[in-house]
Chains A and B, each alone.
Chain A
């Protein structure tokens, strides 16, 4: 099969991109607003400011990655959303500790 060369694509740093509206987050994750609300309830993702009504909620761009990872864990491992949230939190902690270990080992 032939591989196709595509011109240079410019990447955007997800962690430093502008906030997303709840509507955009729904679209990027192919999820309903109810599912997003459920994820917020269980702490999988957090809106930037919860004092505004949920239709005005804004999310960091990393929420897309997090919500998708939660869905994959749910689908592939048979855990519920609360379990997926726990797994993601522990994975974050492991990642941080690994970074610290490799920093200290040098």
Chain B
């Protein structure tokens, strides 16, 4: 079993006052609350914090914990409670900090010292008690292309189930999820009945997946609209013509009008993410030049320069001429 340094987790000194511990808890709880924090391990940190606070906020438990001695290091393996452990201590089964921490129970380390945290155990056994299972939440990253075509994702989840001994256990399970096409970043997918099981015959909770897009190498996404920067040559810009461009649903032909200036934006209606209200696909045309010009190309540009001397591209800048 792994030894847990509750003082380190809470970032307080071993001789911190109860008030200091309370303040540290409040501060860290706000920082690591899974609804507030952006950290990917927020839920774990928050749970760990809840467990540490559970022990340190209670003078009885704290004294008992302190007696384990200072020889243990955080994360050190092989921990076993001393044989005379809990002699002379009585732990009251009062309110556990509960919260997100309560649902899946505390660590083995905690349980070996203080017994099993609240959870289902404290419910009236065999009574009429019935409750809908809790909803679970997870974040899923998909590619933009998946939003166009729909996708299948294998997920590994850890869900809390009631063990044979009537105590909640964390059980890993795999789930294959079909993500419908037309989903946008930040939207949520609901999987009915895939959350925590209900209690006493209550229905299971739902599983919610928040969708995020992996950053794409060429497309930019805003809501359901997708945009792409397309380089074109100076002659394509001048003469117009048909070019082939990629879109997340496959390559398409795009007709460029003659006399196109760099930065011109074209809208392809309905070619964004096929959401309930389909987005549009925006193409921004950028004129690019070859890295090197041959002597012949250069002389052609010079001829063009003389022919087009009347053209002042900076007319709008108000310098006159």
Contact = CB atoms under 8 A, between A and B. Distances in A.
Interface of A: 1, 3-17, 27-28, 30, 61-62, 64-65, 68-69, 72-73, 75-78, 87, 91, 95, 99, 102-103, 106
Contact of A6 (B29, B132, B176, B186): B176
Nearest to A30: B132
A102 B176 CA distance: 30
Nearest to A15: B187
A17 B138 CA distance: 19
A61 to B, nearest CB: 7
24 contacts: A3-B172, A4-B171, A5-B174, A6-B176, A10-B177, A11-B190, A11-B209, A12-B189, A13-B180, A13-B182, A14-B188, A15-B184, A28-B206, A61-B190, A64-B135, A65-B208, A73-B36, A75-B99, A87-B36, A91-B35, A102-B215, A103-B220, A103-B222, A106-B220
In the complex, the 9 A-B pairs of residues with the closest C-beta atoms, listed nearest first = A11-B189, A14-B188, A8-B176, A76-B99, A3-B172, A10-B178, A15-B187, A16-B276, A9-B191
Given A3-B156, A15-B188, A91-B36, A9 B220 contact: no
B256 to A, nearest CB: 24
B183 interface: yes
B174 A9 contact: no
Given A9-B176, A72-B34, A76-B46, 7 more contacts: A7-B176, A9-B194, A11-B178, A13-B188, A16-B182, A16-B275, A106-B220
Contacts of B208: 14, 65
B178 A8 contact: yes
Interface in B178-234: 178-180, 182-192, 194, 206, 208-209, 215, 220-222
Contacts of B192: 12
Interface in B76-98: 98
Given A76-B33, A77-B29, A10 B180 contact: yes
B267 interface: no
Given A3-B172, A9-B177, A13-B182, A77 B30 contact: yes
Interface of B: 26, 29-30, 33-36, 46, 98-100, 131-132, 135, 152, 156, 171-180, 182-192, 194, 206, 208-209, 215, 220-222, 275-276
A91 B98 CA distance: 24
A35 B208 CA distance: 23
B174 A8 contact: no
A12 B190 contact: yes
A68 B185 contact: no
Contacts of B35: 69, 72-73, 87, 91
A63 B30 CA distance: 23
Contacts of A30: 131-132
Contacts of B172: 1, 3
A12 B156 contact: no
A14 B189 contact: yes
Contacts of A78: 26
A3 B174 contact: yes
A16 B183 CA distance: 9
A14 B179 CA distance: 12
Contacts of B30: 77
A6 B178 CA distance: 12
A93 B197 CA distance: 34
A76 B194 contact: no
Contacts of B186: 95, 99
Interface centre among B135, B152, B182, B194 (most CB of A within 10 A): B135
A73 B178 CA distance: 31
A68 to B, nearest CB: 7
Given A65-B208, A72-B100, A103-B220, A11 B177 contact: yes
B87 to A, nearest CB: 33
Contacts of A3: 156, 171-174
